[in-house]
Amino acid sequence: MKKYLLILSLLILTGITAFTQDDNDDRGGKLQEKMREYIQKRLNLTKNEAERFSPVFLRYIMELRKTHRENIGDRPVLQLKIAELRVRYRNEFKQIIDEQRANKIYDYQREFEIKIQTELQNRQRGERFNRRIQAITF
């Protein structure tokens, strides 16, 4: 009887996990918003600067994603297009904030990406550990 309850519990838990993953299909949009907030905070933008910065930054991120998709197979071309994109948007950012902070946007973007990658790797390690524990308990 305990075995059946345990199996039923695992099936329910798996179903809940799958359901919550469906809710995260819009991760790209949520990540973009979190990145935007992170960068705005790191740049210490005023409310006025933040209002002007947000649409430009989100447009930059959308173009960056498009550039990645279109040039994923050709790394040198991808790097060149990203560099061109950054130069073009740096000029737009400089119209909103000073040059020094406009140059730091890309550093903060990289910091955020590393932070997210680290969190994802830690989560995956935890999931692998949990699967190993479950395998041992059966």
Count of domains forming the chain = 1
SS (H, E, C) 80-96: HHHHHHHHHHHHHHHCC
In a domain, 62, yes or no: yes
Q: How far apart are CA 58 and CA 107, in angstroms?
A: 16
In a domain, 18, yes or no: no
Tell me which residue range forms the domain holding 124. Answer: 28-137
In a domain, 61, yes or no: yes
How far is residue 79 from each of residues 14, 39, 64, 100, measured CA to CA in Å?
40, 22, 11, 23
In a domain, 3, yes or no: no
Rounded average pLDDT over 95-124: 92
pLDDT in tens, 19-42: 333 344 455 688 889 999 999 999
In a domain, 41, yes or no: yes
SS (H, E, C) the chain: CHHHHHHHHHHHHHHHHHHHHHHHHHHHHHHHHHHHHHHHHHHCCCHHHHHHHHHHHHHHHHHHHHHHHHHCCCHHHHHHHHHHHHHHHHHHHHCCCCHHHHHHHHHHHHHHHHHHHHHHHHHHHHHHHHHHHHHHHC
Residue 53, classified by CB atoms within 10 Å of its CB into exposed (0-12), middle (13-18) or buried (19+), is buried
In a domain, 98, yes or no: yes
Task: Identify the pLDDT of residue 29.
Answer: 81
In a domain, 22, yes or no: no
Task: Identify the pLDDT of residue 137.
Answer: 67
For 102, other C-beta atoms within 10 Å of its C-beta total: 19
In a domain, 79, yes or no: yes
Average model confidence (pLDDT) across the chain: 81
Task: Identify the pLDDT of residue 28.
Answer: 63
Task: Identify the pLDDT of residue 20.
Answer: 36
